[in-house]
Each structure stands twice: as C-alpha cells, then as structure tokens.
Structure 1
Amino acid sequence: MPDAVTLTCTWGRSPMPVTGSPQVAYLLVEATPASAPTTPVPLNFCLVLDRSGSMQGAKLESMKTATRRVIETLTEQDVVSIVIFDDTVQTLVPATLATDRGALLAAVDTISESGGTAMSLGMQAGQKEIQKHLGPDRISHMLLLTDGQTWGDEETCRSIATSLGQAEVRITALGLGAEWNEKLLDDLAEFTEGSSDYISDPNQISSFFQRAVRSAQGTAATDARLLLRLVREATTRAVYRATPAIANLGYQPIGENEVSVRLGDLVFGQTASVVLDLMLPGRTAGSFRIAQAELHVAPVGSEHEQVVKQDILLAFSADTSTSVYEPRVMNLVEKVTAFKLQTRALAEAEIGNTSGATQKLRAAATRLLDLGELDLAEKTSQQADQLEQGAKLSAESQKELKYATRRLTQKLEE
C-alpha cells in the first residue's frame, strides 16, 4: 500500500561548519498528503452562529450570505445542522442530509438579531446535533462565529470543546470585530485541534467560512503525530508549526532524546510543516545521521494507522565556504521569529512592561520589513510608537497584529 503522506526533511543550513562546541540548527519537516480521492469522505458539519443584537446590519447579512454559500458548497452526502444563539438558543436546522437546499436556504433567511451572547448554549446545542452522526464514516466539524464576549460561561465553553475534541470533532472558531475573547476562542481551537481566526470586516466572513468547509472536505488524514528520535547530546529547544498557520506547538518529551509533536489533521492540497529549533553536538567532518523522523497518521477511509519513517542526515565540513543556507527554510524561520517577537511583545504589554513590549515590536517590525511584509511592518511599528508615547494598544490592534502574524505563511489566494 503506498504511503498516504509524503514526509520531507530539510535543514536550514548544510553542510554545517565543524566546531568544537554545540551549535543551533533549524530543521523543516513537511507532511504532504498524496493525491485526493475522487469521492471525499462526507461531512457532519454544524454551524453555531451568533445572532445577538450587536450583529445587526452588515454583520448579520454577511453571515447569512456566508451560510448560504456553505450550504451550496456541501454535497448531498453531507450532514448539516445550524444553531443560532443570543442569550437563548435555537436549533434552526436539526442535523439532516444537505439534500433539500431550498429548505435550508429558506431557514437561513429567517435569521434575525436579538438579545445578548451566551455562547455555551449554542455550543451545547451544536454538540447535540453533531453527536447524532458521529463516526468514522464522517468528518465532524463545528464552525463557530461570534462578535462579542460571552456572559460568564467561558469555562462551560471550554468543557464542551474538551468533550468535542475527545470525540475527534474539530472547531473552527471565528471572532468578528474587536470585542470577542481571543483567549477563549484560541482555547476552543486548541482543545479540538482546530483553528481560530480574526475577521476584521464582515465582507470577509464568506471567505473564512469557505476555507473552513473546504478544509474539512479535503481532510486526508487525522491525528497526525510526529515522533523525532535524536542522537545522543542533540536536544530540541522549540517546535513551531510553520504551515498552514504559525503556532507554538510545544512538544512532549518521551525520553532523553525523543519528542512527540501533534500536527492534527492533514488536508489534501496543503503541506503541514513544522520548524524545529535544535542544539546539535560538535562533529568532525563527514555525514552523520542526526535523527529519525516518524510520522503517525490515520488516513481517512482506512481502519489502520500508517507510519512513515525517514532518517535525517546532515553533513559537516571544515570548509565554511561550502556551507549554504536553504532560502525557503530560513524564510520560514524568519516568519516564525517575527511571530515569536510579536507574541512576546503583546504579553509584555499586557503586564505593563512598556519598554520590553516596544523593543520587541520594533524588532518584529524590522523582521517583517526584511520579509517584504510592508503593511504589517508599518502597523507593527505604529503600535510600538503608540506604546512608547504612553498609550495602550486597542483590542482591535492586538487582534490584528496577532492573527496577521499567524497568517504570514499562508498563500495570498487563501
């Protein structure tokens, strides 16, 4: 049976110079699904939508338009459910096959704004609908949209997400505007190995919804996990996801020289990649096996886990003139570095360390400028100026910087 996923490992610099002391090396590990099947696995797709009073006007109309497009994108084999919430909840469309599009679209037309925001009610109702069709024959996904702070039920939301994650349901959590709780939405995504994002303009809702549904439709494998076995004296300093969006993945030490990293689901047409920051022991000239990568995946439609292994070799040379940096890897390293600086800057600003936050924002702006991200570099620099002048960063500015930096590795057409 051919591999469902191709595993590729590329060093940021090769050959490495011969030194008598440990040195830092960057390793890019990429997992790319094989070609997509002609018939995708059907979905169990639930939309949980905020229709509170603050959604009045363009927000609500754009959300309804985006929901209609989702319905039109689904196949007749897909199950769809729609839940709307304010400070109450309504199951607008109980879980049903997406065969009668006319009836589904008519239901969407009835959505109107009302009341406050109690997100856990929407999530509970959505969970109930998803549970009706849970199973290995469907990809289960919850698409959540909100534009505001939920009313004191954050821990209930987290508890529901934990339960959904255990059932292998992914959440795409989308925040519209500046007033929602980003820590909460990030947690909901993390607990389910899903994703979270920021929508600044209601006109963008449809593109975010489409990305979510097409990503679910394109699921190639679930529960991807990378196991890296390093040679003695080599250590892992950090692990960051590079694509599809930048994130600090952390890692789970298994033994003295083994680490495990969860990659989540793999999607056809997308490469999931991680950048590993490693400390390597000194070596004499020659080629050495530094590690073995082992990717564990559960291909969609298969009852068996598949394991892909690759030995990772690295050359060392006493002639430093032969040492070459790999531009693609180092470009990703620079983007990850900009993300790290921005993340630390926002954390410093939150605790009132203006000097530290300003310094890191300026460093991030410099990196972004070098990467050609002129607009984001300018905005980052402006935020540094604002902090330096004694003003605080607005909620909108913080969200814009945070999520735009996460998306640095995404293609423009996405």
Structure 2
Amino acid sequence: MAVFSKSTAPQFAVDIYQNEYLPEGAREVNAIVTVTATGGGTSGGLPLVTQGPGAAVVIMVDCSGSMDDPPTKMHNARQATAAAIDTIRDGVAFAVIAGTHTAREVYPADGRLTVADSTTRHQAKQALRTLSADGGTAIGTWLWLADELFATADVPIRHGILLTDGRNEHEEPGALWAMLDACAGRFTCDARGVGTDWEVKELTGIASALLGSVDIVADPSGLADDFRQMMENAMGKGVADVALRVWTPQGCEIKWVRQVAPTVEDLTLRRTEAGPRAFDHPTGSWGDEARDYHVCIRIPATEVGQEMLAARVSLVLPQPDGTTQAVSQGLVRAFWTDDMAASTHINPQVAHYTGQAELAQAIQEGLEARKQGDFDSATTKLGRAVQLASASGNDDTAKLLAKVVDVVDAASGTVRLRARVANADEMTLETRSTKTVRVRK
C-alpha cells in the first residue's frame, strides 16, 4: 500500500456536530462528522506535488459507433482528451484507452503507463488522431485494461476518467459489476455521460463503486472544460486510500455511515473490519477539501443522568510499511436527560443533512414514478423535493427541478408536472440529485 510522503500529504481535522442530550429511553444518536484536509494537494490552484511519479491517470474514451452521431461528438471527445492531457503535470504516469466492445490502448500502446512531460504529452495528443467511432460498448473491458495499466506503476494516487455516450449493451450486466468489484479500492474513477442516450443509473453506479464523481455533459462542446476541470481535481489529490474509522463500545453498533457533502453516498456496506468493534469506511483520495459524514449509532437504553461514549470517529491513512495510522479523531457522546428543551433540540447540521439525503431520495423516487406513469406519486415526491431544496438553500437543485415541474409554491411543495420535459433536463436532475449544499454558517 503506497502513500505520499508526510511533506506532501494534507493535514486532517475532524469536527463533531451533534446534540448529545437524549430523552429517556432513546436508543439512537446522530452526529455530523466534518473532515477538513489542508496543506496538501493544491495551493492557489497549482499542484504542490511537482515530482513523481506520485500519481497515475488513465483516460477511457468511448469510441463506439454512436460517437459519430453527430460527428462533432467524436471531435469534441478528442479535444476534451487533449485538454485533459495538457493538464497532467510532469512526472505523472498516464495512458489513453479507446473503448468499444473491446478496449485498446491508444497511448503509449506498449502495455504500460508512460510518464508525462512535454514530449509524451505531445505524442499522446498526436495519437488521438487515430480515435474513430466504430463498434459497440463494453465498459467492463475498459475498466479491466485500465486496471492492468495501473498495475504497472507503483504510485499512491490512481485515477480514471471515463466518457461514454451510450448504454453498456455488449457485455452482460453481471460482467460490469464484477469488474467494478474487482477494481474497487484499486483506483478511483470519474464518469461522464455525453448527450442523452446513456443510462444514468449505470454511470452513477460506476462512479459510486469507484468513489468518483458523475455528471452529464448534454452538449458535447462542453467536454473540454469539463475534462480539464476533472484532471485539475485529480492532480490536486495528495493522499490515497483514506478511511473513516468508526469504533463503538460494547452494546453499541453502527446503524449507518453516509457521506452527505459534497454528495450523498452511503458507505455503510463498504466497511471492512479494523479490529475489535472498529470498521473502516473508504473515502478515496484527498486534496485540500472538506467533506461531511452522517454517522448514526444504536445505543443501549440508559437511565436519566447517565452518559456514555457512543463512538470514536477517526481518519486513518495508509503508511509505507503497510500499516495504517489514525491522524485525527472526534467523539460522539450520549447523555440522557429529562430536560425536554435540551433533548428535543435538533442539531442544525444533523437536520440540514437529513433533509439533503431526503431531497436526493425524493428526486430519484419522483423521477422513477414519472417514468412509470404514476403521476400522482411523481407530483408528491417532486413537490417534496422542491420544498426541501427551497428550505435548505440548494439553489442549483431548485433550478433543475423547475425544468421538470411548474412550481406553484416552493415553501409548501405545491407543484404541477410539466407535460413535456427535455431528456437532457430530466437526466441532469437525476444525475445531480445527490449533490448537496453545506450548512449555512
């Protein structure tokens, strides 16, 4: 297991937000864990790590036949890949894959990654001229080749960028999910869908399994800027394989651990044992950034006046010798009281992110009901989503919802379904449904 040196890795801080006062008989405690990383990754937009190779990136470009409809789609994909290549810093190992019903290494085309410098970046962009649209789509094979290439470089940060414009139609669904299971923890991957003929749940599942981001680029002309930004984010990572470790005392158990900002992502079932009553939840790679997690712990009922430690939450980093080290921690506490005012107060952070998780679920369920022709349920769910987005200040999501429903009254969630909705608007709302806003200070 590899890790950057201490001089380049960010420093982590853990802050706990909760109401530790519980009414008599309560058996559940909730807390928001804010993790902040500083001093690594990027500074002023420039990477702090300039020598390597400390990272590797593989760009997977859909070259199936549909990428030629219209022909500008393939042209924009080449331009976007070139923009990403230009953003790769010196010393980073990289490769480019053309994906169809098979996978082909476009550059360096020798079964290994190459190291970025002015010469190799120029050669890679020249090789992009060979990209043409022909064949089917089997994304599992693209990921397999990416994994094979990553295995040739002993680097801590391994990140993929995957672009597709269609559905994974030329391999069994089980083959893709099996490959995702095999790649999980080996590299992270951002996924992008261009146009409107791809499957949101499929691409979201890929990004989720590989702890990356997902988004739609409905207009292919926007690919270059998006690819450049993705690569800049990848270049800003300073440490990989970071885990959120949750330890609970005897009698307590973890109900769930969810990332709630910048996106909603359930990490509960991804945990691995890390000693007696301790579990590690994967969080991927970090640069200078902050993320929020919602931790819910089941606890034994205790009499009024008693208190207990419900959980200890820490950030765990891999070490060069294969061990792990906790670098920061926070405590989740419980205190039973008969003070009604204290025990009924809802912590603002917990309330906010509970609403953001409900918002994401309401959007997804509302859009699914709309697809199934259940317009009453769709109206109810999407109305609730409008209400939650308005109350939490999630303006971006509110704007996306307004393209799918006519908002009569945002505060009450009164809406009317629109008779006609552009595919791009519906897919954008579904793709970005898990994006959240942080608590207003």
TM-score category, normalised to shorter length: 0.7 to 0.9
In the TM superposition, residue 130 of structure 1 has moved relative to its aligned partner by 3.0
List aligned pairs for 1:234-313, cutoff 5 A.
236-251=254-269, 258=277, 260=279, 262-278=281-297, 281=301, 284-285=304-305, 288-298=308-318, 303-308=322-327, 309-313=329-333
The one-letter code sitting in structure 1 at the alignment partner of 2:150 is I
Match for residue 39 of structure 1? 49
Are 2:29 and 1:11 aligned? no
- Conserved 8 A contact 2:97-2:107: yes
Q: Which residue among 52, 69, 74 is the counterpart of 2:83?
A: 69
Quick one: percent identity of the two aligned structures?
18
Q: Which residue among 225, 231, 234 is the counterpart of 1:213?
A: 231
In the TM superposition, residue 265 of structure 1 has moved relative to its aligned partner by 1.6
In the TM superposition, residue 363 of structure 1 has moved relative to its aligned partner by 0.9
SS in structure 2 of the partner of residue 409 of structure 1: coil
List aligned pairs for 1:244-393, cutoff 5 A.
244-251=262-269, 258=277, 260=279, 262-278=281-297, 281=301, 284-285=304-305, 288-298=308-318, 303-308=322-327, 309-314=329-334, 318-319=338-339, 326-349=347-370, 353-374=374-395, 376-377=397-398, 379-380=400-401, 383=404
Q: Which residue among 168, 171, 180 is the counterpart of 1:161?
A: 180
| Distance of aligned partners of 1:238 and 1:384 in 2 relative to their CA distance in 1, 3 Å threshold | farther
Q: Which residue among 10, 25, 30 is the counterpart of 1:26?
A: 30
**C-alpha deviations, 1:165-190, integer Å up to 9, x for none?**
36x12222221122112333233334
- Matched residue pairs, number? 404
List aligned pairs for 1:390-401, cutoff 5 A.
396-401=424-429
SS in structure 2 of the partner of residue 107 of structure 1: helix
SS in structure 2 of the partner of residue 179 of structure 1: coil
Please give the alpha-carbon distance, in whole angstroms, between the structure 2 residues aligned to 1:125 and 1:232. 45
Match for residue 412 of structure 2? none
SS in structure 2 of the partner of residue 8 of structure 1: strand
In the TM superposition, residue 122 of structure 1 has moved relative to its aligned partner by 3.7
| Distance of aligned partners of 1:388 and 1:23 in 2 relative to their CA distance in 1, 3 Å threshold | farther
| Distance of aligned partners of 1:305 and 1:145 in 2 relative to their CA distance in 1, 3 Å threshold | same
Please give the alpha-carbon distance, in whole angstroms, between the structure 1 residues aligned to 2:28 and 2:49. 45
The one-letter code sitting in structure 2 at the alignment partner of 1:273 is D
The one-letter code sitting in structure 1 at the alignment partner of 2:265 is A
The one-letter code sitting in structure 1 at the alignment partner of 2:394 is E
Name structure 2 gaps, 5 residues minimum: 1-5, 42-47, 408-414
In the TM superposition, residue 366 of structure 1 has moved relative to its aligned partner by 0.3
Match for residue 437 of structure 2? 409
TM-score by length of 2: 0.76
- Conserved 8 A contact 2:99-2:139: yes
More deviation in 46-55 or 213-222?
213-222
In the TM superposition, residue 279 of structure 1 has moved relative to its aligned partner by 5.3
SS in structure 1 of the partner of residue 292 of structure 2: strand
In the TM superposition, residue 310 of structure 1 has moved relative to its aligned partner by 3.5
Name structure 1 gaps, 5 residues minimum: none
TM-score by length of 1: 0.80
Please give the alpha-carbon distance, in whole angstroms, between the structure 2 residues aligned to 1:27 and 1:159. 34
**C-alpha deviations, 1:278-312, integer Å up to 9, x for none?**
4564663576433222433215x674311244433
Please give the alpha-carbon distance, in whole angstroms, between the structure 2 residues aligned to 1:96 and 1:207. 24
| Distance of aligned partners of 1:347 and 1:285 in 2 relative to their CA distance in 1, 3 Å threshold | farther
More deviation in 27-36 or 37-46?
37-46
Match for residue 61 of structure 2? 49
**C-alpha deviations, 1:301-324, integer Å up to 9, x for none?**
674311244433355665555676
Please give the alpha-carbon distance, in whole angstroms, between the structure 2 residues aligned to 1:374 and 1:6. 30
| Distance of aligned partners of 1:158 and 1:313 in 2 relative to their CA distance in 1, 3 Å threshold | closer
Please give the alpha-carbon distance, in whole angstroms, between the structure 2 residues aligned to 1:21 and 1:103. 67
Please give the alpha-carbon distance, in whole angstroms, between the structure 2 residues aligned to 1:21 and 1:242. 28
The one-letter code sitting in structure 1 at the alignment partner of 2:245 is L
Please give the alpha-carbon distance, in whole angstroms, between the structure 2 residues aligned to 1:45 and 1:155. 26
- Conserved 8 A contact 2:18-2:347: yes
The one-letter code sitting in structure 2 at the alignment partner of 1:50 is D
SS in structure 1 of the partner of residue 281 of structure 2: strand
SS in structure 2 of the partner of residue 47 of structure 1: strand
Q: Which residue among 131, 139, 146 is the counterpart of 1:111?
A: 131
**C-alpha deviations, 1:232-259, integer Å up to 9, x for none?**
665544432123322222345979x957
In the TM superposition, residue 403 of structure 1 has moved relative to its aligned partner by 2.5
Match for residue 228 of structure 1? 246
In the TM superposition, residue 274 of structure 1 has moved relative to its aligned partner by 1.0
In the TM superposition, residue 62 of structure 1 has moved relative to its aligned partner by 3.0
Please give the root-mean-square deviation of Cα atoms over the aligned residues, in Å. 3.8
SS in structure 2 of the partner of residue 242 of structure 1: strand
Please give the alpha-carbon distance, in whole angstroms, between the structure 1 residues aligned to 2:438 and 2:228. 15
